[in-house]
Amino acid sequence: MLIRIDYQDARPIYEQITAGFEKLILSGVLEPDEQLPSVRGLAVELSTNPNTVQKAYAALERNGFIYTVKGRGNFVSGNVSLINERKRSMREQIEAILKEADELGIDRKELLEGLGGKGKND
């Protein structure tokens, strides 16, 4: 599995698991209707408590990333609106950053030059 737990991360483990699966689903690594590992199996693999994995799966289901089939397990949703919602959220974040940069008098070109680790003084 491609989920990694970072014990130096301030976020709770279940949030790290949730974020990891969201990234895998949104990037297409996990296909719609693909079965996720069992709660116990993933807990063993990640050396964590099954209740932690169950909490992550419940959050993923609440947010529309997965669905549960009783007696069969958890599966990836085929919901295209998840990607559209993430794009909308990212646009809002970028707009907020640009607005803040404008308020601070930071030129947009200067701001973009700072992306990728290359500034004017590098």
pLDDT surpassing 50 at residue 84: yes
List Cα–Cα distances, 22 to 6, 54, 79, 80, 85, in angstroms: 16, 15, 12, 13, 12
> What is the reported pLDDT for 118?
46
- Domains of the chain in start order, with CATH, are 13-76 (1.10.10.10), 81-117 (no CATH)
Q: What is the pLDDT of residues 8-28, one digit of tens each?
A: 999 999 999 999 999 999 888
pLDDT surpassing 60 at residue 94: yes
**pLDDT top residue among 54 and 89:** 54
First to last CA, the chain: 38
If you average pLDDT over every residue of the chain, what do you get? 88
Q: What is the pLDDT of residues 23-81, one digit of tens each?
A: 999 888 999 999 999 999 999 999 999 999 999 999 999 998 999 999 999 999 977 67
> What is the reported pLDDT for 116?
67
> What is the reported pLDDT for 110?
80
Confidence of residue 106 (pLDDT cuts 50, 70, 90): confident
